[in-house]
Amino acid sequence: MSLPRSTTDVLVVGGGPAGLAAAAQAAAAGLMVTLVDERVTLGGQIYKRVGPGFAVEDPRAIGRDYAAGNHLIAAVDSPRIDVRLRTTALAIEGMTVILCADESHTVAVEAERIVLAPGAYDRPVAFPGWTLPGVLTAGGAQTLVKTQGVLPGERIVFAGSGPVALAFPAQLHHLGAGVVTVCEAGPPPGPSDVAAMLRAAAGNLSLLRDAIGYRAELLRARIPLRYGRIVVAAEGDGRIEAVVHAAVDREWRVIPGSEERVACDALCLGYGFLPSVELPRLAGCALDEDEDLGGAVVRLDEWMRTTVPNIHAAGDGTGVEGSLVAIDEGRLAALGVAMDLGALTREAAEERARPLRRRLRQRSAFRSALRRMHRVGPGIYELSTPDTMICRCEELTRARIDPAIAASTDPGVVKGLTRAGMGLCQGRNCERTIAALIARRHGLELASLPPTNPRLPARPVSLGAIADQEIEDHGFFTAAAEPRD
Partner 1 sequence: MRRATLPAGVRRGPAVTVNVDGTPRQAHLGETVAAALMADGGPAVRVTRGGEPRGIYCGMGVCFECLVVVDGVPNTRACMTWIRDGMDIRHMDGLAAAGLTKENDHDA
Which residues lie near partner 1 (CB under 8 A)? 38-40, 45, 50-63, 121-122, 131-137, 139-145, 148-154, 175-177, 238-239, 265-266, 389, 392-393, 395, 423-425, 428-429, 460
Shortest Å distance, C-beta 141 to partner 1 = 7
Tell me the C-alpha distance between 146 and 164, whole Å: 14
Q: Name beta bridge partners: 260.
A: 245
Looking at residue 44, what DSSP letter applies?
T
Residue 45 vs 323, nearer CB to partner 1: 45
Q: What is the CA radius of gyration of the chain?
A: 23
Tell me the C-alpha distance between 147 and 308, whole Å: 37
Shortest Å distance, C-beta 340 to partner 1 = 32
Tell me the C-alpha distance between 370 and 360, whole Å: 16
Residue 148 vs 448, nearer CB to partner 1: 148
Tell me the C-alpha distance between 269 and 183, whole Å: 10
Shortest Å distance, C-beta 430 to partner 1 = 11
Report how far apart, in Å, the C-alpha atoms of 15 and of each of 112, 335, 429 are.
19, 18, 23
Residue 153 vs 162, nearer CB to partner 1: 153
Shortest Å distance, C-beta 451 to partner 1 = 17
Residue 306 vs 429, nearer CB to partner 1: 429
Shortest Å distance, C-beta 358 to partner 1 = 32
Residue 143 vs 469, nearer CB to partner 1: 143
- Pair 458, 282: CB distance under 8 Å: yes
Shortest Å distance, C-beta 20 to partner 1 = 17
C-alpha angle 392-395-396 in degrees, rounded to nearest 5: 100
Residue 25 vs 45, nearer CB to partner 1: 45
Q: What is the largest CA-CA distance in the chain?
A: 89
Residue 131 vs 345, nearer CB to partner 1: 131
The DSSP element (H or E) to which 316 belongs, if any, is none
> What's at 122, amino acid-wise?
D
Backbone angles phi, psi at 463, to 5 degrees: -60, -35
Looking at residue 453, what DSSP letter applies?
P
Q: Name, in order, each residue with C-beta under 8 angstroms of 160's C-beta and a sequence gap of 6 or more.
A: 138, 183, 184, 185, 268, 269, 270, 271, 272
Shortest Å distance, C-beta 45 to partner 1 = 6
Residue 413 vs 422, nearer CB to partner 1: 422
Shortest Å distance, C-beta 425 to partner 1 = 5
